Structure 1
Amino acid sequence: MKLQRITFVTAGSRGDVQPYLAIALALKERGYEVRFATSCEFEKMIQSFGFGFAGIFPNVAAVLKESPKLMQAMQNGETFTLSAGISAANAKVAPQAFAKFQIELEQYPPDLIVKGSLTEFLVYHAALTRKIPFCDVCIMMPIHHPDRPLFGFPKLPFGLHSIFPWLLLTAYYNGQRVYDCENVVARRWSNARFRQAMTNPVIPRICLAPSLARPILYPSIDGNFKFVGYATIASENQIKSRTGSSFGDLRVQTQIQEFLDQSAGQDCIYMGWGSMVSRSPEHMTEFAVRTLQLVRKRGIILSGYANLGMQHIKDVELLKYARENILFVSEAPHEWLFPKVSLTIHHGGSGTTASALRSGKPTIITPVIFDQWDNAHLINQLGCGYGFEKQQLHKVTSDDLAEAIDMVLGDRRFSVHSTQVAEQVQKENGARGAAKEIEAFWTSYVVSSRIWSLLPGRQSENKQMSSVFRFSWRSLFGFVGFLVSFIIPRDAFSHNLVTTLSSAQIERTDYQIEELPDDIGWYECSGDTNLSARAIKSC
């Protein structure tokens, strides 16, 4: 029984696709045939690396534009509203996505599916009806932290904030069920069992996160989680990809290099919020440019889904400053660019955070939603920048961000920690590590047929009873949470965290350092975690 063809199935924005593309490149080096079934907008990027492609999901940006409520939920960071909006969007596209996926499986039947983001029910359906085994490779993990609420939710007394992952997974389950068009998976796997499998998997889950993040973000997980490091496309491959616009074509890359040359001897800052939108394109553009004007720095700004650009600037003085000191780009090769700038500022998406930590330069995170809050917390704990853990992007002012920039660039210790973190993170090649784990999974779980005894509906009676018992307790927590929701301000559930910081209240964090070095719509598609300078809060 030989593994030959592997199909990656993933949905979402670019951050939900690109890490899997990095793993695919590692698998290609090992002689496997790789295909992708994902969102239509990534056809050009994936095919430019020589992989087969099936567009089964619509363009994410188009879906956002066609759903004002969904866009508003993202702008305000309202997690449950956004989840409900995603569920509604899924319901519209699910029949087509399901049909296209079945055609892909019939035309190019894989030996193994790699399950990516937001595709549980499609993949489980293929396993149950076609007996195609799957391997679980994840970017974001909804694992409860005993001391710190997940995804930036407010901390509740008596540990009641544990209900938030429970509620979020319940909403996610209901949103994903629309892809179970024949009701095959739901008959075998209840909501309760689904939540249990997401937080306590019965087969190994390959995690695209560095080992240094494990004790900070996931201290309570067991050995069934395999941390392999960030999966990133190497700088040389991003630069090589000049035929398409995935990382900026030759013209864009030349513009960036010329701008960096002109900025020699000055601090140059990167700003980019990817698929996130806050308030409006006009607000985001003026927010970014005014911040750079306040700190008197040059900057490279990624246009992103919000399409940031000069056209949104109305203030004459601000426009003049932008023309002289700022370069707007539609795409940028992060692995190549980030080490060349003085500071990166972004939303905290997993892919951008990976490149930021690998760059050896300080970073600032202005989170909007989901795991972006956790990445902001991670940055603060590592001491390699500043994460706005108590302010959401749409509530961060230019004064707030300017003060954070002055703090990070003005304190050499942030630079020291960034260098040390980069050295630690770069020791783990997540793409190659994931490829090895996929091969090991094939041998241990597929060749041995062990996986088929672990699929939904086939667990032992003891596990079934245990699941039901857990569900009854969690139902109690859910009821308590429902009552608590009446006394918690609505802003708390919008991830505004009840309180925010004014520009004069950005909390200065001091770090103890052991030693300081001397030199430091639907579109048709054609190990060791101890750092020598661990950040310790002493405020």
Structure 2
Amino acid sequence: MRVLLSTIGTRGEVQPLVALAVRLRELGQEVRLCAPPDFREWAEGLGISFAPLGPELRSTAKPDSAMTKAMATPEGRRAMAEAMVVDQFETMPDVAEGCDAVVAGMALNIAAHSVAERKGIPYFFTAYCPITLPSLHHRPPVFPGWAPKNPDAAIPALWADDAERWNRQWGDVLDAQRKLLGLPPVDDVRGHIFTEQPWLAADPVLAPWRGPSALDVHQTGAWILPDHSPLSPELEAFLDDGEPPIYFGFGSIRAPEEIAKAMIEAARAHGRRAIVFRGWTELALIDDEPDCVAIGDVNQQALFPRVAAVVHHGGAGTTTAATRAGVPQVLVPQMFDQPYFARRVRDLGVGTSITGEPTAESLASALAEVLRPEVASSAARVGGEVRTDGVDVAAKLLMEAV
């Protein structure tokens, strides 16, 4: 079996598909990964065949980049969206040649279903958070420039409005590209992408699926990539040189301005040391004091169990890793699924969250809340309930279906 795994997005969208690719290869299957070029070296280092899709995304973490400026206006967002779809339709058919199935890992992978349809092979859509998928239990997620006409409307009306926005945003360019492939137009873009039987690659304890919904959702559990890479000698020495520090990181997304100063001051307010993840924003330390260290990409599975708390943006991957590690969390959500995970962390009693621009004072107050023994106890208990077999479930589903 040869499978094409495809996604558009940052590390949080790519890593679950990398986890599935690794597992499928272990089971003797052939895999191709189609993703932004930022991740080529990483994927190929794991022995995964890689095809770049779209532009590099690292610059989106910088407020002064051309891509970030273009996304600041409705016209710019629309032009970029249309160019993205055209690029997908130009790239993916060749990459999918000879494949037996396509698995799409993000809703903005607009072309994936059409390419699979044209090839006559199965297509599977995967969400990483329950609120991505329509349900009467929750409201649709909100993208920048994607606000509903009436935010106070009932949930069914909000999802209907969401479907209309999908059609307005993507319908014309999708149908134009489908016509070039000899395919008929689509009258429901969102339904076309999600299908009636989507997969949900999220942990059922941290992010349970709750209907009712018109969709037949199969929740596999989170797709976790096992990481056996060692921590650097410098980081090991820092961890061994005192009490567990606080970890601060915002992954691949843009971090708020002056956040490094606020984070370090908040840790120091509690007499704690700090580990600052540079991320795509390239956060830096504010001085040369020995109580702080800045790091690049790191094995979260090895690091998180050794810190006192994890302060992060609330993406699906980092939230799952911190929850699985059994460590208290402070979330600073900005968009899409991050407010959902902030709420779940609070509901589970494993952490708290900050609304709005974080300050040293708000971060210090949040840390005071999560550094209590009872929060650490809850985090450890919930961490022991997180499933780790999600990628095995997904690989089995895929192989049986194909």
What is the TM-score with the length of structure 2 in the denominator? 0.87
Distance 1:113 1:88, change over 3 A: same
- Report the residue type matching 2:391 in the other structure: A
Q: CA deviation at 1:7?
A: 0.9
Q: Is the contact between residue 277 and residue 294 of structure 2 (CA under 8 Å) also seen in structure 1?
A: yes
DSSP-derived class of the 1:57 partner: coil
DSSP-derived class of the 1:420 partner: helix
Q: Which residue of 2 is the match for residue 14 of structure 1?
A: 11
Of Structure 1 and Structure 2, the greater helix share is in 1
Distance 1:157 1:25, change over 3 A: closer
Q: Does 1:160 align with 2:154?
A: yes
- What whole-Å deviation, never above 9, does each CA across 1:253-274 have from its counterpart, x for those lacking one? 22221211113xx131111111
Q: Is the contact between residue 344 and residue 363 of structure 1 (CA under 8 Å) also seen in structure 2?
A: yes
DSSP-derived class of the 2:276 partner: strand
Report which structure shows greater RCO (CA 8 Å, sep ≥6): 1
Q: CA deviation at 1:53?
A: 0.7
What is the TM-score with the length of structure 1 in the denominator? 0.66
What is the rounded CA distance, in whole Å, between the counterparts of 2:8 and 2:336 in structure 1? 16
Q: Is the contact between residue 143 and residue 218 of structure 1 (CA under 8 Å) also seen in structure 2?
A: no
Q: Which residue of 1 is the match for residue 245 of structure 2?
A: 268
Q: Does 1:337 align with 2:303?
A: yes
Match of 1:53 among 50, 53, 61: 50
Q: CA deviation at 1:430?
A: 1.1
What is the rounded CA distance, in whole Å, between the counterparts of 2:83 and 2:236 in structure 1? 43
Q: Does 1:111 align with 2:111?
A: no
- What whole-Å deviation, never above 9, does each CA across 1:98-143 have from its counterpart, x for those lacking one? 322233234xx21111111145431122133222321222213434
Distance 1:172 1:295, change over 3 A: farther
Q: Which residue of 2 is the match for residue 436 of structure 1?
A: 396
- What whole-Å deviation, never above 9, does each CA across 1:494-539 have from its counterpart, x for those lacking one? xxxxxxxxxxxxxxxxxxxxxxxxxxxxxxxxxxxxxxxxxxxxxx
Q: CA deviation at 1:171?
A: 3.9
Of the structure 1 ranges 179-188 and 126-135, higher mean CA displacement relative to structure 2 is found in 179-188
What is the rounded CA distance, in whole Å, between the counterparts of 1:173 and 1:358 in structure 2? 38
Distance 1:290 1:302, change over 3 A: same
Q: Which residue of 1 is the match for residue 189 of structure 2?
A: 194
- Report the residue type matching 2:110 in the other structure: F
Q: Which residue of 1 is the match for residue 361 of structure 2?
A: 399
Distance 1:284 1:168, change over 3 A: farther
Q: CA deviation at 1:20?
A: 0.9
Q: Which residue of 2 is the match for residue 255 of structure 1?
A: 234
- What whole-Å deviation, never above 9, does each CA across 1:62-108 have from its counterpart, x for those lacking one? 3562134466x6xxxxxxx7x875443233344444322233234xx
Distance 1:258 1:371, change over 3 A: same
Of the structure 1 ranges 121-130 and 218-227, higher mean CA displacement relative to structure 2 is found in 218-227
Q: Point out the structure with max Rg over C-alpha.
A: 1
- Report the residue type matching 2:57 in the other structure: V
Q: Is the contact between residue 228 and residue 433 of structure 1 (CA under 8 Å) also seen in structure 2?
A: yes
- Report the residue type matching 1:131 in the other structure: G
- Report the residue type matching 1:346 in the other structure: H
Taking only aligned residues, the RMSD between alpha carbons, in angstroms, comes to 2.8
Q: Is the contact between residue 151 and residue 372 of structure 1 (CA under 8 Å) also seen in structure 2?
A: no
What is the rounded CA distance, in whole Å, between the counterparts of 1:111 and 1:422 in structure 2? 37
- Report the residue type matching 1:422 in the other structure: G
Distance 1:279 1:338, change over 3 A: closer
Q: Does 1:422 align with 2:383?
A: yes
Distance 1:157 1:232, change over 3 A: closer
- What whole-Å deviation, never above 9, does each CA across 1:210-252 have from its counterpart, x for those lacking one? 222455x63434672111111111132xx1xxxxxxxxxx7x6
- What whole-Å deviation, never above 9, does each CA across 1:324-380 have from its counterpart, x for those lacking one? 211111211111111111111111101101101110111111100000010011111
What is the rounded CA distance, in whole Å, between the counterparts of 1:406 and 1:327 in structure 2? 21
- What whole-Å deviation, never above 9, does each CA across 1:142-195 have from its counterpart, x for those lacking one? 3456565444789x89753555444445444544454665343984311xx233
What is the rounded CA distance, in whole Å, between the counterparts of 1:137 and 1:13 in structure 2? 15
Q: Is the contact between residue 232 and residue 430 of structure 1 (CA under 8 Å) also seen in structure 2?
A: yes
Q: Which residue of 1 is the match for residue 221 of structure 2?
A: 229
What is the rounded CA distance, in whole Å, between the counterparts of 2:331 and 2:198 in structure 1? 27
- Report the residue type matching 2:123 in the other structure: F
Q: Is the contact between residue 324 and residue 386 of structure 2 (CA under 8 Å) also seen in structure 1?
A: yes
Distance 1:337 1:41, change over 3 A: same
Distance 1:92 1:421, change over 3 A: same
What is the rounded CA distance, in whole Å, between the counterparts of 1:354 and 1:267 in structure 2? 20
